[in-house]
Structure 1
Amino acid sequence: MSTTEERPIGFGRLKRKEDARFIRGQGRYVDDVQLPGMLHGAVLRSPYAHARIVSIDVSAAQQHPKVHAVLTGRDLDGLGLAWMPTLSMDTQAVLATDKVRFQGQEVAFVIADDRYAARDALELIDVDYEPLPVVVNARRALDADAPVIRDDLEGKADNRIFDWEAGDRAATDAVFARADVVVSEEMLYPRVHPAPMETCGAVADYDAVEGSLTLWSTTQAPHAHRTLFALVARLPEQKIRVIAPDIGGGFGNKVGIYPGYVCAVVGSIVTGRPVKWMEDRSENLMATSFARDYVMRGSIAATRDGRILAVRVDVIADHGAFNATAQPTKYPAGFFHVFTGSYELEAAHCAVTGVYTNKAPGGVAYACSFRVTEAVYLVERMVDLLARELDADPAQLRLANLIRPDRFPYEAKTGWVYDSGDYETALRKALEMAGYEQLRAEQAERRERGELMGIGLGFFTEAVGAGPRKHMDILGLGMADAAELRVHPTGKAQLGISVQTQGQGHETTFAQIVAQELGIPPEDVEVVHGDTDRTPFGLGTYGSRSTPVSGAAAAVVARKVRDKARVVASAMLEVSADDLEWERGRWFVRGDPDQGATIQEIAMAAHGTVELPKGVEAGLDSETVYDPPNLTFPFGAYLCVVDVDPGTGKVTVRRFVAVDDCGTRINPIIIEGQVHGGLADGVGMALMELIAFDEDGNCLGGSLMDYLIPTALEVPDWETGFTVTPSPHHPIGAKGIGESATVGSPPAIVNAVVDALRPYGVRHVDMPCTPSRVWEAMQGRGAPPQ
């Protein structure tokens, strides 16, 4: 059962350690890296979305007095580096050789004395393009006469990437056939972009004498990048060091390897000097990994009295010109399995088809766990449509169908096992915090006055902490994470982790985990991350893996150190280890509490002259690799209140109540910060964010003037609450929180918008619910309220 009591671990509400340097402007980012003799690179990008490359003339650029080298796809082809593997086992051109397949694709790389000269020299490169037909509509890409984008793939005659199914089609069809009510709707989760404050970049320094490479990179997965560079550049992996310094936001955008990284490495090899490449904002928005872009048709079956029976989904997933999605190999559509939502069903089935289009590749785990965001949005919109069909209250319909606490662990109809949950408590708390009944009464009064007020609900179950490794991998690398812990003779500790922070507060929360387990102050624990020479191997940060996987590793390795400390203490106190008991920070003799030793005393003894039992090595350290037995399943209940201007269609989010359950809470301050950021993300996606294209494949969202993101002016004061339902299989019961708010907020907001427009007969509005889109929906459906 859940609780609403706040009992955080590891000293609770600590201010973040990392903020001391950030608020003073002393963070160190990739663009801050300055090396002796460093050169700068710039990428020439295609103006066409689809065109054959007839010729490339770089002679004028090579004559530029500040240019040291110009790389083309032909140059890389001679080095065997023209194509690189993607995270989805596809291939992607580093620099285009045969043709370009999306606007902004990399065509050439200039290396010069400074970034300005490098960019100036791009204008001197003459490329002769032969334009080809363009397809940017995913459904159109499946037509028999659509231009084939990946004609480089042997035997490829269409744009289909994969066909994937989950659930039982026959059982689902049977349930739909006998259902009293069936509701269907097609909806789009549009292409959006993480838009981190820091764009992507790298500094490569190849040492020809040592045959070694040091790479500073904006990466969320340093160890995975090291392995990929070893495969791509054919350098010995032990000779590669990847350093991810402070990262100015990632949100999935910095999971994959971009051609600019590879070009910087090749540039350093070719010139014999360090090479830096940093993209600008337009490059980041146009050519780095996007998210979403799912065309979904959902159907929901129910009885007349409101019992949900089954869900059926058909999806077309637009993966762009190369399939570079960061998804586990076995699950090309990610964790879309959770399209069943948080409800008890008799049957469910989904079919997902992935397609190539002339758009930038990707499909990152953008602040969601591998397509969970799209799945939750779909099912929560369908539940609201069902409530409308039945003329039922959306809250009561959800309460009647949520999975009951006594059903956990709950096996969904797609085979996933939800670890724990108390869904009704979370939803009732959200309704109570919002004053739901009073809001409905207020809405009725406002409608009588012609005012458009909407109330939207969203309930979500997320699947995070990718693992276990026997089921999940990327490029054959199992999704496990390691931790190394060393307690120095003076009792100070150093924890090495394999995940990479981009603002989540790892240096604070991971120190709190170790402090909880060893009973030492969090300030005595240094957390090391982002350097493959100083940290153990792991798959990195995305899909909210940090606390569910690496946080578990930190707890396990701390317990190993604590167990070793018990053996050392037994030698110090000359008693059997079995006779020792633990209290925070010390082992003591059972029945004689005064006879004991603190962790600090034990650490000194472990490095000193105490005679240790046979087989026990000196020192107080340990390491572990944590292979999670299952995903963790955080959940939450969200309620949004909007006002819509009937004259302009402008949507204002007046209130937002968010109740989250992330299992055991570590640092509530950081949790609240994560939720606030995710909720702002949701407002952006629901109301304004869109990477759009014209029919020629020109990107229409290539700047922050065109790709709108929310500011403090567009968001309300968030009202947050929580319940605590620990995960039964996680060492400390934690489930993860980093992406929950981004998953749960868009459906709540869109449900509120559609609810506000009910007097106009509006049934659905696709995101983003911009003023023009809302206004058009109002004009085409019914008469305005009197």
Structure 2
Amino acid sequence: MTATDTPIGYGSMKRKEDARFIRGQGNYVDDIQLPGMLHGAVLRSPFAHARIVSIDTTAAEAHPKVVAVITGATLATLNLAWMPTLSYDTQAVLATDKVRFQGQEVAFVVAEDRYAARDALELIDVEYEPLPAVVDARKALDPGAPVIRDDKDGKTDNHIFDWSAGDKAKCDGIFASSEVVVTEDVLYPRVHPAPLETCGAIADFDKVTGKLTIWCNTQAPHAHRTVYAMVAGLPEHKIRVISPDIGGGFGNKVGIYPGYVCAIVGSIVTGKPVKWMEDRSENLMSTSFARDYHMKGEVAATRDGRIRAVRVTVLADHGAFNGTAQPTKYPAGFFHVFTGSYDLEAAYCDVKGVYTNKAPGGVAYACSFRITEAAYLVERMVDVLAYELKMDPAELRMKNLLKPDQFPYLSPTGWEYDSGDYPRALEMALEKVGYSDIREVQAAQRERWEAGDRTSALTGIGISFFTEAVGAGPRKHMDILGLGMADGAELRVHPTGKAVLRISVQSQGQGHETTYAQIVAEELGISPDDIEVVHGDTDQTPFGLGTYGSRSTPVSGAATAVVARKVRERAKIVAGAMLEVSTEDLEWEKGRWFVKGDPDKGKTMAEIALAAHGSLELPEGVEGHLDATTVYNPPNLTYPFGAYVCVVDVDPVTGQVKVRRFVAVDDCGVRINPMIVEGQIHGGLADGIGMALMELIAFDEDGNCLGGSFMDYLLPTAMECPSWELGETVTPSPHHPIGAKGVGESATVGSPAAVVNAVLDALKPYGIRHADMPLTPAAVWRAVQGSPIRPDLAIT
């Protein structure tokens, strides 16, 4: 399939769900009030590593409004002290032996209101024996480092896994014979999804029916139901998970947190509904983070800029419990898509996972299972190579990008990229930003700078080209806890021609209620306004693994198209009976079947739906009604890509960075609703600016979290973001039913490298080749102070 000049899409239309949101009528977990509902609060450890000597709950239990106090000892009697993580590890629900990160859950108070529950936490007396903490992944494997997971039999170190991909021998041979080899240590620091709404749940266990109902702001309701059944020992058909409106997730709401389990136990123990909602500090300190990868990148190339091979060594900090939501076969996620968008002879990566005294996790935060880290690394290394070769970064990329006739392309690590025209996307981005003109202005600026005129900021231009791999499954290759990554869809057309679609993914702001209705409308010719999309309720929807890693459109969107086509074929049989002709004599146009050669003789979907529910005699063996179900198992991932160009102004005196322009050209295949696509790109670009310039969850040497509030963990606002300039190419995915690839995370994958490359391009006169994110004013100032070639310009 070839690229087209304009988006192939279903058309922009206002989001159907926005009517309730803009009126303040959204229905979030904390909005739900149940009769007799109690409230829970979690007591958290002030230490990053300490042995628990004793826990005295006597005073808390004597509080007049406290109904129950639950500890790890309580859970142990119910066989609930430990729960499985999504990576086949185990995590303490409430600590029993020791705490392993600051903010770890120690006890759970259930009281008549949330204020009493919080007050009672202060009455619990815990005696700790502090232990040495390790928060640096590079020190976690040192001999003598404190062993964090000594709960595991025979565990004597902090090693989790070793994983590799690619042909090491071939890669090493190319490096040994290459004309140019560049090496750089790159950190992608720990950041947090920081959703607008924190995590929370309400559990209501009915002792009479044995039914457990959980309202939880999860991105994966069905996966949660299965895990709760595993943890609580309840029959899965007796568990109902309802995920109402979600105030953002970005991967933060994929996993199972101890607070959810404690709310369930609280309801079982008290016989009443129990609500638990965390505050902002709890969310930042204890829920799943992202990134935290120490990476060594190496590139082998020729003198004229032909990239031959890439070699990567990674140390992955997974915190105190390995709670990453990764496919079982890929403990480091899809990091082996680190070859990026370039035609290489060979590639090899080696990843080692370690425990540290930090909050657990490593979520698929606005990335498809670690591709963000991989894309950032390779794009930094391309700029490092350009620096070494004294070559323009755009020219270097254009020389090495995959060409359209190479698709489908099998990468050196075994992944088959579906389609793309990479050079065209980069050309469009460079043209849109006016790349040559900006370079000329920059050259003149640098001449004045070298001549001693240093009154103005330095301009930098950063380029990033990325390829994402989204849409996990296929199920034969990918699962989480043994659950295959396929999604179901159910479609029912009522007698009046109106339809209800039930899907297994959960919206966290992507506009599922609109885009999925548009897919059905496109396939059946029914107005999107006449199609209801149901999601977020395990009793009302088919099984699926939820929304993360840009799975929605590549997997569930495909399921929607397939199930709609099943209904259309069923309608064809009914139309044949109505028109008294063979189905082979019928043709389809949007919204109706008609007789070939006689367009006036046809039936609309509404007419067919009514007849399917009526007394019409259908062919033998054909059932009535227009209902269908499907389970979609994707044959491959989809591979959206993009070319980003960022222009910044950097003041070397203060270290201040201003993002002046940002051009983003994305290709996500067929665009169902271009307006929603652009909105998701806007959000991802802002996210990328935040990670590049300000976001960081830091720790001191004792493991104290230094990013536990929005006073410390900085987020970008409209003031830090430019007016985004977007472009698009469209190369449909050849194996997706409608050619869509997904876009929800693309901008977050591609933008950080563009921003960092721009800042370092601005600092090129100082001889600064690399500096780690976030490039805060202080970090930029320190880099300037340490200039390897211009110590005379250090500012005193």
Coarse TM-score class (shorter-chain normalised) = over 0.9
- The one-letter amino acid paired with 1:260 is G
| Cα separation, 1, equivalents of 2:502 and 2:621 | 25
User: Which residue among 558, 561, 569 is the counterpart of 2:567?
Assistant: 561
The code of the aligned residue for 1:426 comes to A
Q: Displacement, 1:643?
A: 0.5
Q: Distance in 2 between matches of 1:154 and 1:579?
A: 70
Q: Which residue of 2 aligns with 1:766?
A: 772
1:3 is displaced (CA, Å) by 3.1
Q: Is contact 2:52-2:98 (8 Å) kept?
A: yes
Matches of 1:4 and 1:501 in 2, distance apart?
Answer: 29
1:716 matched residue in structure 2 = 722
Residue 323 of structure 1 is matched in structure 2 by 322
Counterpart among 661, 681, 687 of residue 687 in structure 2: 681
Question: Which residue of 1 is the match for residue 520 of structure 2?
Answer: 514
Query: Which deviates further from its counterpart, 673-682 or 148-157?
Result: 148-157
> What is the rounded CA distance, in whole Å, between the counterparts of 2:658 and 2:709 in structure 1?
24
Amino acid at match of 1:370: F
Distance 2:495 2:131 in 1: 67
Kindly indicate whether the alpha-carbon contact (under 8 Å) linking 1:4 and 1:722 is maintained by their aligned counterparts in 2.
no
Is 2:583 the counterpart of 1:577?
A: yes
**TM-score, length-scaled by structure 2:** 0.98
Do 2:312 and 2:348's aligned partners in 1 also have CA atoms closer than 8 Å? Answer: yes
Paired AA for residue 456 in structure 1:
G
Contact 2:340 2:375 survives alignment (8 Å): yes
- Shift of residue 708 of structure 1? 0.1
Match of 2:622 in 1: 616
Counterpart mapping for 1:295-314 below 5 A: 295-314=294-313
Q: How far off its partner does 1:9 sit? A: 3.4
C-alpha distance in 2 between matches for 1:688 and 1:18: 32
* 2:631 corresponding residue in structure 1: 625
Paired residues for 1:347-746 under 5 Å:
347-447=346-446, 448=448, 449-450=453-454, 451-746=457-752
The whole-number CA distance in structure 2 between the counterparts of 1:767 and 1:540 is 31
> In 2, are the aligned partners of 1:662 and 1:724 still within 8 Å (CA)?
yes
**Whole-angstrom distance in 1 between the partners of 2:763 and 2:359:** 35
Equivalent pair of 1:150/1:156 in contact (CA under 8 Å): yes
| Secondary structure of 2:291 counterpart | strand
TM-superposed deviation, 1:520? 1.0
2:129 aligned residue: 130
Kept in 2: contact 1:9–1:516 (CA 8 A): no
Secondary structure of residue in 2 paired with 1:737: coil
The number of residues matched between the two structures is 785
Q: In the alignment, is residue 72 of structure 1 matched against residue 48 of structure 2?
A: no
Where 1:16 maps in the other structure, the secondary structure is: coil
For residue 271 of structure 2, what is the aligned residue in structure 1?
272
Question: 1 CA distance for matches of 2:436 and 2:106?
Answer: 59
SS in 2 for 1:613: coil
Cα drift, residue 433 of structure 1: 0.1
Q: How far is the alpha carbon of 1:651 from its aligned partner? A: 0.7
Amino acid at match of 1:687: L
* CA deviation after TM superposition for structure 1 residue 338, in Å: 1.1
CA distance in 2, matches of 1:151, 1:669: 51
Whether the 8 Å CA contact 2:554–2:742 is kept in 1: the answer is yes
Query: Are 2:3 and 2:421, in contact at CA under 8 Å, matched by a contact in 1?
Result: no
Equivalent residue for 2:757, pick from 733, 739, 751: 751
Please report the RMSD computed on the Cα atoms of aligned residues, expressed in angstroms.
0.9
Deviations 1:239-263 (A, max 9, x none): 1000000000000000001000000
Counterpart in the other structure of 2:155:
156
Q: Quote the Cα distance in structure 2 between the aligned partners of 1:136 and 1:600.
A: 63
Alignment identity in percent?
Answer: 77
Distance 2:684 2:514 in 1: 20
Structure 2's unaligned 5+ residue stretches are: none
One-letter identity of the residue aligned with 2:58:
S
Q: Aligned residue for 1:6?
A: 6
The question of 1:40 aligning with 2:46 is answered no
Counterpart-to-counterpart distance in 1, 2:377 and 2:687? 18
Task: Supply the distance in 2 between the matched residues of 1:771 and 1:18 (Cα, whole angstroms).
Answer: 40
Helix, strand or coil at the partner of 2:696: coil
CA distance in 1 between partners of 2:59 and 2:124 (Å): 7
- 1:210 aligned partner: 209
**Residue type of the alignment partner of 1:720:** L
Deviation for aligned residue 1:342: 0.4
Whichever residue aligns with residue 371 of structure 1, its letter is: R
The amino acid of 1:3's aligned partner reads A
Does the 8 A contact of 1:656 with 1:719 survive in 2?
yes
Partner of 1:344: 343
The 1-side partners of 2:2 and 2:263 are apart by 51
In the alignment, is residue 59 of structure 1 matched against residue 43 of structure 2? no
Letter in 2 for 1:359: K
What is the identity, as a one-letter code, of the residue corresponding to 1:5?
D
Q: Please state whether the residue corresponding to 1:588 is helix, strand or coil.
A: strand
How far apart, CA to CA, are the structure 2 residues paired with 1:34 and 1:686?
40
Q: What is the SS of the residue equivalent to 2:726?
A: strand
Residue identity opposite 2:307 in structure 1? I
Deviation at 1:645, TM superposition (A): 1.0
Cα shift readout 1:97-131 (whole Å, capped 9, x = no counterpart)? 10000000000000000000000000000000000
> In structure 2, how many angstroms separate the alpha carbons of the residues matched to 1:191 and 1:617?
56
Using the alignment, how far apart are the partners of 2:4 and 2:745 within structure 1?
21
Q: Counterpart of 1:560 in structure 2: which amino acid?
A: K
Q: Which residue of 1 aligns with 2:103?
A: 104
8 Å CA contact 1:419, 1:727 repeated in 2: yes
Give the partner amino acid of 2:754. A
* Unmatched 5+ stretches in structure 1: none
After TM superposition, give the deviation of residue 7 of structure 1 in Å. 4.2
Are the aligned partners of 1:8 and 1:668 in contact in 2 as well (CA < 8 Å)?
no
Q: Matches of 1:446 and 1:554 in 2, distance apart?
A: 54
State the 1:785 CA deviation: 6.8
Distance 1:639 1:148 in 2: 45
TM-score using structure 1 length: 0.99
In the alignment, the residues of structure 1 paired with residue 401 and residue 330 of structure 2 have an alpha-carbon distance, to the nearest angstrom, of 26
> Partners of 1:731 and 1:163 in 2: how far apart?
37
Question: Are 1:236 and 2:235 counterparts?
Answer: yes
Distance in structure 1 (CA, Å) of the matches to 2:690 and 2:325: 23
Q: CA deviation at 1:692?
A: 0.2
